[in-house]
A and B are shown apart, each in its own frame.
Chain A
Amino acid sequence: MLRYVLRRLVSLIPVLLGISMVTFALIRLIPGDVVDLILGNEVAMGGERAAELRRLFGLDQPIYVQYLQWASDVVRGDLGHSLRTGKPVLGEILGRLPTTIELTLFSLVFALLIAIPMGIIAALKAGTRTEAGVQVLGLLGLSVPNFWLGTLLILLTSRYLGWFPAANYVPFSVDPWRNIQIFILPGIALGAALAAITLRMTRSSLLEVLNREYVTTARAKGVAERQVIVRHALKNAMIPVVTVVGIQVGRLLGGAIIIEQVFNLPGIGRLAIDAIQQRDYTMIQGVVLFTTLAFVLINLAVDLLYAFIDPRIRYS
């Protein structure tokens, strides 16, 4: 196991280097540079103040020196300062992080609570209308745009049911109950696609396992059907489901960007969109780097977890 962990960690190094280079290059691709953005158009490019600022930011250095400088700052946890507010980028991101994490967790819990029982039912009732219905639901869940689903949920609850009026955000520490209420609808909207994927995987995986010989053997030796399903089939059927869910957890991060916009949640996604609208390039750079690192590390954690559950992976 240790060898596998080490191998995975080593293989991560070129990817991390590449990510840092792409993120660094991103900010250089904009027309003009950071100094032009700060000073605005009215200041002549060759102005003394501009030259001074460029020296201050190290923009007069060769590009590889700038990269090394930036990379060493990043490694020490300094992602620079916002071009608009002057606040440290990392601090802003960490301040928004709990909201995004809470949203992701809500959607994950919702998806698993809905999808696994429905997938099991669909597999056990193969060939019936129930199965067809669950399959249709799965397909719809895969194709419904999450931002549309979110909008429909807001419409449904506020207009027709009179529930949670789309109010301002309340942090968990201020009013936990209000806070949880706020996350229910966004969690459903973000989790729907994951639920659909998990549902389909659970169904097909369980169907396959139910045809295996050891299930037939268990039935033949007189094990109660309930026991056969829970102990023999389900346990093995869940392995591919775990992988699929793992792969998708990282993708929830991307989806959260859109859902935060729909529900006015002050998470990292909102930070990114606001930064793009205000052309706050250091902030954009910071959010992209931070989120991508989180994404890569989540995927690594899932891989390691999977190798831990299923030893065959380690040796392939």
Chain B
Amino acid sequence: MGEIRQSITLRDTAEMPGALRGASSRTVWARAARHLARSTSGKIGLLLVALVLLMALAAPLIAPHDPYEQTVFRLYGPSLYFPFGTDEFGRDVMSRVIYGARISLQVGLIAVAIALVIGGLLGLVAGYFGGWVDSVISRVLDIVFAFPDILLALALLAVLGPELHNVMIAIGIVYMPSFARIVRGPVLSAKHNEYVEASRVIGAGTLRTLFRHILPNVTAPLIVQTTIALSFAILSEAALSFLGLGAQPPTPSWGAMLSGGRRFVEIAPWTAIFPGLAIMIAVLGFNLLGDWLRDVLDPRAVR
């Protein structure tokens, strides 16, 4: 979280020369805490994300069974031994849902990291260099943006093959333009600021100017966008796995579980209800967290 503090302090010092770095960073955290105390949805978001993180990190400790172990108890209803019932192979649905958090978070984090790094760099370069570089990058991103997102992911998976690591690449490409756009605008306006020119006069190289002086201006919106993109990425992975193009059996992915459970939904509703509930909790959690972060980090943003 060091970057958040830095971005706010940099912005603050730019606006109020002479302000103490330590003092202004304390107010950010104070504001965050104050805001969290008032914001019910922020608290719920934090709680839901914590729940998903806990499931992913502590899966072997909290899962009652092996998520891959098949038993003779096929399509058994929820009981003390199988709290969420069993699926068509007699596997424990609860353990699979818990392990599913790992798949969702892993795919979500890597996909968003791809979008953030590549999209962010493209936006940075486009905004900083301007001219034809900007035109070329912006045109290319417009084209990626022109495809309906799920369709673009489908097409990429059709070519790359239905595997989980390809899902990460596909989702990463789909969300790349939105990160590039967020970075490009502020960079375009920040590069004419006096402190940027000053650093160049002192003799700072392009890279140093970009990363030390310009990038901190966009960290706040980037953090908000990353959180919200995580919820979209988790939802996209579930959708693609649901369509049979993501995680393949027997991987415990929420989307794939839901797709399997759908065939038995009338006799064994629990096989479809619990994985879907997990998707919703994760998506809702990151959404609420993103909204809250936007309020805290970017008070000027219109809601």
* A residues whose Cβ falls under 8 Å from a Cβ of B: 14-15, 18-19, 22-23, 26-27, 29-30, 139-140, 142-145, 147-148, 151-152, 154-155, 158-159, 204, 250-251, 253-255, 257-258, 261-262, 272-273, 275-277, 279, 281, 284, 288, 291-292, 295-296
Contacts and interface: CB of A to CB of B under 8 A. Distances in A.
Contacts of B239: 145, 147, 258
B265 A154 contact: yes
A152 B159 contact: no
B148 A253 contact: yes
Q: Which label, helix, strand, loop or mixed, suits the secondary structure of the B interface?
A: helix
Contacts of A258: 150, 239, 242-243
Nearest to A291: B151
Given A148-B276, A152-B276, A292 B146 contact: yes
Interface in B134-182: 139-140, 142-143, 146-152, 154-155, 157-160
B154 A257 contact: yes
A292 B280 contact: no
B157 A276 contact: yes
Contacts of B148: 250-251, 253-254, 291-292, 295
B97 interface: no
A115 B146 CA distance: 27
Instruction: Please give me the 8 A-B residue pairs with the lowest Cβ-Cβ distance, nearest first.
Output: A148-B276, A18-B143, A143-B284, A254-B148, A254-B150, A276-B158, A143-B283, A29-B159
Contacts of A19: 143, 146-147
Interface in B93-135: none
Contacts of B279: 145, 148
Q: Which of A145, A152, A295 has the most chain B CB within a 10 Å cutoff?
A: A145
Contacts of B273: 152, 155
A59 B279 CA distance: 45
B155 A145 contact: no
Contacts of A159: 265-266, 269
B245 interface: yes
A158 B266 contact: yes
B238 interface: yes
7 contacts: A14-B139, A18-B146, A143-B283, A147-B239, A154-B265, A250-B148, A262-B262
A51 to B, nearest CB: 25
Interface in B268-293: 269, 272-273, 276, 279-280, 283-284, 287-288
B258 A148 contact: yes
B110 to A, nearest CB: 20
B235 interface: yes
A257 B245 CA distance: 13
Contact of B280 (A148, A253, A261, A276): A148
A26 B156 CA distance: 8
Given A143-B287, A272-B151, A279-B158, 8 more contacts: A14-B139, A142-B284, A148-B280, A152-B276, A155-B272, A255-B150, A272-B154, A284-B155
Contacts of B38: none
Contact of B276 (A151, A204, A250, A255): A151
A147 to B, nearest CB: 5
Contacts of B265: 151, 154-155, 159
Nearest to B273: A152
Contact of B139 (A18, A23, A291): A18
B300 interface: no
